[in-house]
Amino acid sequence: MDFNSDFASCIELLINLSMIRVDIVFAVNKLAKFTRQPGKVQFKALIHLLCYLCNNNNYGIHFYSNIEESPMYQMLLQQNISEKHSFFGFADSSWNDDQDNGRRTGFFIITYMGGAIDHSSNMPYPIALSSAEAEYNEGCIAFMAANHLRMLLCKLEGSTDDTKDATSKYFDSKSAIAMGNNYKDTKHTRHILRHHHCVRQNIEANRFKARWISTEFQIADIGTKNNDGPRPKILLQLVLIQIQDQMKDLVQEG
């Protein structure tokens, strides 16, 4: 079968596009692993992804002057979660989804004023021995990324890190949150590499606060696995908006 397309070139373009299209990050991450030697399955998956983009080409990132108008903020309110700040994020991880080497797929997304400003779908080392450890380790990656943005935000706002309130990071694993809040090593955590405990250090320094959210509304799930049924659409509408509909509203208002 001749697919008449350059797999590597398509992946390169999709990687660039995934910077603003969070919904395709997981698929692009998986397809990129086969750039050197793709097979029929990978080509079919690529064509499926391109068809998806053709049918959903009017989504984009939107920043809200009033954070309370953003879908993310409204979702948190529906979950009885009070979020006081416009800068927060979500982190999630699968566990042992790569059967060849036991690695997991992690994803974090950092938002400001209702729009995504940083995100990453990754398969980091070391191999996690439990799902809680996988989520905790991904939290470390998310905290390190958010630290840089937090410092930038302090400069823009003319504030200091010491006076700025803790930034919320949402996890759907209460065990991972407990690891971050507990400053003592146990038989279940003493094997975890020391640098991952920057989660504990940041929580203790009151830079970040690990908060729980239901798996149903864990936005970071969009970058860790294929979601079935209506859930992908629900998560997509929390992160992106349909630009065409937004333009119609602006024209009507004008």
Does the reported pTM lie above 0.85? no
201 and 75 housed in the same domain: yes
Task: For residue range 144-203, list pLDDT tens digits in order.
Answer: 899 989 999 888 888 777 777 889 999 998 988 888 887 666 656 655 656 667 788 888
Check which CATH number belongs to the domain holding 199 and give it.
Answer: 3.30.420.10
CA distance 21 to 34: 21
* Residue at which a domain ends, from 42, 57, 72: 57
The bridge status of strand 115-122 relative to strand 87-93 is unpaired
Res. 230 pLDDT band, cuts 50 70 90: confident
Q: Per-residue pLDDT for 1 more than 50?
A: no
Q: What is the DSSP letter of 37?
A: S
Instruction: State the pLDDT at residue 164.
Output: 78
Do 109 and 125 lie in one domain? The reply is yes
Q: Looking at the structure, do residues 126 and 172 belong to the same domain, yes or no?
A: yes
Tell me how far apart the terminal alpha carbons of the chain are, to the nearest angstrom. Answer: 52
Task: Give me the residue label for tokens 């983009």.
Answer: 53
- 75 and 87 in a single domain? The answer is yes
Among 219, 249, 213, smallest CA distance to 236 is for: 219
Pair 87, 16 in one domain: no
Number of domains in the chain: 2
3-state secondary structure 3-51: CCCCHHHHHHHHHHHCCCCHHHHHHHHHHHCCCCCCCHHHHHHHHHHHH
Average pLDDT over residues 74-100: 86
Q: 3-state class of 44 per DSSP?
A: helix
Asked, for residue 30, whether it belongs to a domain, the answer is yes
- Cα–Cα distance between 178 and 199 in angstroms, integer? 11
> Phi first, then psi: what are they for 15, rounded to 5°?
-60, -40
Structural domain span for residue 214: 61-239
- Mean pLDDT taken over the chain: 84
Please tell me whether residues 150 and 104 are part of one structural domain. Answer: yes
CA distances from 5 to 9, 10, 11, 30, 110 (A): 8, 8, 11, 18, 34
Predicted confidence band of residue 113 (pLDDT cuts 50, 70, 90): very high
In a domain? residue 244: no
Length of the chain: 254
Helix (H) or strand (E) run with residue 108 in it: strand 106-112
| pLDDT recorded at residue 130 | 80
Residue 32 lies in a domain: yes
Cβ atoms of 162 and 222 closer than 8 Å: no
